[in-house]
Amino acid sequence: MERTLSLIKPDGVARNLIGEVIKRFETAGIKIVAMKKLHLSRKQAEGFYAVHKERPFFNSLMEFMTSGPIVAMVLEGEDVIAHNRKLMGATNFKEAEEGTIRRDYATDIEKNVVHGSDAPETAAFEISYFFNSMEIVG
């Protein structure tokens, strides 16, 4: 069993897509083992996306990620890192496969509704960024 971090980004929360995203995970047989709603500060968003700090889109991404509340979840399942990325679709919704969350709901390359960890190392970092072990219930 593997775990990954999922975020419903501010656009997804503002557009009442929390239930829709969760429904897709549950329908796919993925288990939600932790969940919380929070509003990131600039410092918290910068720490989370530190790998992107030299990218040209970093400042815009920080403005977006701090613009409203998000929902953070820990997902559990077999190959769940890749499984979640498949359900999300490509970063750019125009390139995302049909039936994916981003293809169906993203409005912009940045405002793409969800985040998912991309590797075991990033999943471990990102899960511990938001949750302590007592908050994860398998």
How many CB atoms within 10 Å of residue 19? 8
| 55 belongs to an annotated ligand binding site | no
Binding of residue 66 to ligand RTP (CB under 6 A): no
In 39-82, DSSP assigns E strands to 70-77
- Classify residue 15 by burial, with Cβ atoms within 10 Å: 0-12, 13-18, 19+: middle
Which window, 20-28, 31-39, 73-81, 115-123, contacts ligand RTP (CB under 6 A)?
A: 115-123
Amino acid occupying residue 58: F
**9 assigned binding-site residue:** yes
The answer to the question of whether 66 is labelled as a binding residue is no
Tell me if residue 115 is catalytic.
Answer: yes
Residue 32 binding ligand RTP, by CB under 6 A: no
Which H/E stretch holds residue 58? helix 58-65
Single residue of 57, 120, 128, 129 touching ligand RTP by CB under 6 A: 57
3-state secondary structure of 49: coil
- Does residue 116 bind ligand RTP (CB under 6 A)? yes
Using CB under 6 A as the binding rule, whether residue 61 contacts ligand RTP is answered as yes
Element (H, E) at 5: strand 2-8
Binding residues for ligand RTP, rule: CB under 6 A, are 52, 57, 61, 91, 109-110, 112, 115-116, 118
Query: Which residue numbers are catalytic?
Result: 115
